[in-house]
Structure 1
């Protein structure tokens, strides 16, 4: 991979969508590529580079040849987003994602021109599928460009069939409208229009996880008949080796609290970095957790903003809790504010279940840790991921059956209580957690020497070289 001298060394340019779940996956991908001998340039705004660097878990950035290339933050016009909308999608991020394309194209063009001249055109690009416009710049400089898919193959099949109206509302009673607002759907279709020049698709999944759906995606032209490399789960090897607390930031109050809990007794509760629950929903969830009698660790926060997640005012979410809630639950419940080391929590022996929004990062991480899931999807790919987890993999249970295909539904405290007990205390829950442990073993095999993802990564890097 390395080549002879700087002139012959391959440069892999990685361009994520500037949102935590996308940044995180592509930073871990960058680590694996750098570990295999290539030099990586990770391209994002300065704000989001700081964000992903501050949150990375399980490895030291200085140990890999990853160069961070900063783009300016796009200017936002201050347009109004419907504050009264009941849509769970993070509407405040849509103008930002559009501004990234509109305002940063010339900066990406200049950066790629410089990288190509410095590396004798031995450059390939891996970019987020939500940044399809990067293909235009890559074509200008004849740079081979690959699409990174930050969601699973199952969702891609669901999206195609729902978009083509060939699958109705199955496998879940959810429409495309509930997953994405119309403005976002238009942007997804626009980004997809750039895909025809891509060399192939890279997915953060592994064969045993989606053995049926990856080949079906090829057959049904979800991936356009092009090569598909399944290289996941993209996590630090240390977690598969049962090494813990590799960074000082992981030695937090919530981890010390977990140390005092019984094995597999704690329900971890988190809805990711891009979504916020309503005040009413926070109250229902809190009441349900209290009534369940189950120990829990709840990451309570508001969603990342467009400019900086680190400025999130997490106390505004906590004010919706009933007065005295934390005092009453002291010892049984722990509320982590703003951010918590999710990988360390999931891989901790005291964690026995995960109440999750089913974002693809959280899904893959929970499976890799062997933790059964209580699924509570909110938007995007999450409803399809919930169906994959509960109905196909049998590694989780649904918090409720969704009745309304179009509109958001409140989950009552009674439904929360019942679902928590179902996962954590029932025979069904025991079987779910057993199945999650089996998938954890498959994940370890996939990324180990000679595993399916290990081989696909080798094949991908060979394809990089051949494409040059």
Structure 2
């Protein structure tokens, strides 16, 4: 796909939101289209390029034609996480998103002007839907633009129904206030209002996972009548093949611990890269895990900072644990420091369940690994994802009922203990884990030769090439 329909060189410019889950998805998307012959420019601040490059799993960055284009880090007066915030969403990230929009427009303009000149104006751009302001720059240079939705089709339906005030039909009975701080909600709505000129939407999902909701979204005009391509799961296909899979070297200590555990015996516990639990909640979770008697691997961390500076904050977070907790659980529980190689953990033979915040990356990765989930959503799309996992896919269980829950609701140790035992030891949990294994097979088919996502990537690349003849 190095040449477009008119024989000119075609470059795909990819612009993610500077948050780990968004960066990660679009980097994997870049790999997928580069593997098919596209030349890709991945555009982000130098800080966030370093962040996503240091955490990539399952493939070598040098194997694909991906060129990293660095933007300066915008000036921020703050940007560090507050583990004791009254809202579960990491409020310190919203000023970063706003600063990128306010301060980097001229830098993006200059970059696109240069890229167009170098590629004879044969350029298309793919940007995160929460970076809608990119559209005005793309329009200035007549660059065909495509919006990447980093959330699933089920959640996209919920957003549309809430905005249309059809809450009675909504798949999730949770208020926007619970999911979004007001400042983020205002920012997101502004970005979505700028998407009218996009050529179509790209989603990290696959047909067998969400076909019903993708079709319903088309019917309810969620995508504005534009084409939709489902290209997921966006993760290296080598993870589906035990013979080909090579483990990353990141945080190898926790992987060595996993190697010593029986098959499907360990509960993996992680709340993602941009979420923090309060001190009180950490103590309840720790107590519940201990009382459950379950083997577990817990990634204990606080949210990424706007400047990617949380790698040294593990010790302060661990102060929330009871004295002697780690030594008391030595051999039965492993607490990983900050970031851990999630794909390696999920695809490990010893991992039998996943206590998760239900971020879309984690959801898709757990399904792809065939690991049943224990749903503990915190904010944004996570409540909708938890409903998809538990109600629709039957691939997980809720830690508790969340309807109309308060923002700062604490999950008790008793609730944690009960939920862990349900997933890992009950007949109900066994059925959930069996269903997750079935979905793993569907995920593998989707990205394999001739699969639904494979075909959609081909269709998308053809659309890129044809966009210059419109």
Give how far 1:85 is off.
4.3
Checking the alignment, whether the CA contact within 8 Å between 2:79 and 2:307 is kept in structure 1 is: no
- CA distance, structure 2, for counterparts of residue 199 and residue 262 of structure 1: 49
| 1:278-312 C-alpha deviation (Å, 9 max, x unpaired) | 00000000000000000000000011000114545
Q: Specify whether residues 14 and 466 from structure 1 end up closer, same or farther in structure 2 by C-alpha distance, changes over 3 A only.
A: same
* Larger mean Cα displacement after TM superposition, 305-314 or 77-86: 77-86
Using the size of structure 1 for normalisation, the TM-score is: 0.97
Give how far 1:242 is off.
2.1
Which residue is 1:348 aligned to? 348
Q: Specify whether residues 241 and 54 from structure 1 end up closer, same or farther in structure 2 by C-alpha distance, changes over 3 A only.
A: same
SS state at 1:209 partner: helix
Q: Specify whether residues 445 and 403 from structure 1 end up closer, same or farther in structure 2 by C-alpha distance, changes over 3 A only.
A: closer
- CA distance, structure 1, for counterparts of residue 272 and residue 101 of structure 2: 25
- CA distance, structure 2, for counterparts of residue 325 and residue 239 of structure 1: 34
- CA distance, structure 2, for counterparts of residue 414 and residue 247 of structure 1: 36
Which residue is 2:192 aligned to? 192
CA RMSD of aligned residues (A): 1.8
Residues 370-381 of structure 1: pairs in structure 2 closer than 5 A? 370-381=370-381
Q: Specify whether residues 450 and 18 from structure 1 end up closer, same or farther in structure 2 by C-alpha distance, changes over 3 A only.
A: same
Q: Specify whether residues 300 and 396 from structure 1 end up closer, same or farther in structure 2 by C-alpha distance, changes over 3 A only.
A: same
| 1:127-179 C-alpha deviation (Å, 9 max, x unpaired) | 00110000000000000000000000100100111122102484333101110
Q: Structure 2: any 5+ residue segments left out of the alignment?
A: none
Give how far 1:243 is off.
4.5
- CA distance, structure 1, for counterparts of residue 311 and residue 248 of structure 2: 21
- CA distance, structure 2, for counterparts of residue 79 and residue 453 of structure 1: 37
SS state at 2:439 partner: helix
Which residue is 1:15 aligned to? 15
Give how far 1:319 is off.
0.8
- CA distance, structure 2, for counterparts of residue 412 and residue 292 of structure 1: 13
Using the size of structure 2 for normalisation, the TM-score is: 0.96
SS state at 1:162 partner: helix
- CA distance, structure 2, for counterparts of residue 196 and residue 243 of structure 1: 45
Which residue is 1:207 aligned to? 207
Q: Structure 1: any 5+ residue segments left out of the alignment?
A: none
Q: Specify whether residues 386 and 138 from structure 1 end up closer, same or farther in structure 2 by C-alpha distance, changes over 3 A only.
A: same
Residues matched between the structures, number = 467
SS state at 1:12 partner: strand
Instruction: Check if 1:146 corresponds to 2:118.
Output: no
- CA distance, structure 2, for counterparts of residue 276 and residue 80 of structure 1: 12
Residues 108-257 of structure 1: pairs in structure 2 closer than 5 A? 108-168=108-168, 170-243=170-243, 246=246, 248-250=248-250, 252-257=252-257
Which residue is 1:35 aligned to? 35
